[in-house]
Amino acid sequence: FRRDASAAPAFAVRVRPLRQARALAANANGALGVPDAVAFVVEPKTGLRLPGEFCVRGQTSDCAPLAGMGVRVKRIAGVGVKVYACGLYVHPKQAKQTVGDAHVGRGVADVAGDQKLFDALLHDSSVTKTVRLTFARDLDSAKIADALSERLRPALGKDSKSLRTFEAYFDGVKFLKGQSLTFSADGGKLTTSIRGKQVGVIDDAKMCVALFDAYLGKNPVVPGAKKSLGEKIAAHVVG
């Protein structure tokens, strides 16, 4: 992640005691596996914390690091309102395996801005992808569900069973400031966790692509998170 030398550090990392680390892990991932010690990374514009790494399939080590971070800002009456801090998790090793030598010898900045890199990550189901949203304000989940459904519907169709299942997760749910919503795509299955509890798994590779297209596609909802992830991954695939 780049920052101005005169600016405050983009990341403030704190390693919590084991009990607190496990509590964070549970909030981040519900039933999914996490390491014994987890570092918080503070998103500077909101002051909200994101886990420094995220594990799936019972992993307890070599988990995906926080590779991209940014803030979702929505304009209301001409004023930018911070909605949530966004963390993107992709393991550089998996990214390297996916793209191979396609970008070797290119400049990091050039690769980081190349949509082909993101498309490769999007469409390879063997690349585990996680997005963690930590809310900066109290929010009715219907607003989040509607926004995501609007992105998913063109790809899945309005009569999609997967989409109906997904939308049902949010019935009657309200997020308070600091609470989280997490999506993980692994092997063509989308796992959703609300406020730290896993609420369901949808076996639909097309849905995984459609959801993560909202964050890694040509028109990302959090451009800063995509940009910083691109820089992180590019540094691992150019050499």
In the chain, domain spans: 13-237
DSSP string, 94-116: HHHHHHTTTTTTS-HHHHHT-HH
Full strand arrangement of the beta sheet holding 49-51? 13-15, 39-42, 49-51
| DSSP β-bridge partners for residue 189 | 186, 203
CATH of domain 13-237: 3.50.70.10
Residue 30: its pLDDT value, please? Answer: 41
| 89 in Cβ contact with 183 (< 8 Å) | no
User: Which position has the higher pLDDT, 57 or 174?
Assistant: 174
| 20 has a pLDDT exceeding 90 | no
Residue 63: its pLDDT value, please? Answer: 92
pLDDT tens for residues 102-144?
A: 999 999 999 999 999 999 999 999 999 999 999 999 998 888 8
| DSSP β-bridge partners for residue 49 | 42
pLDDT tens for residues 159-169?
A: 999 999 999 99
| DSSP β-bridge partners for residue 53 | 65
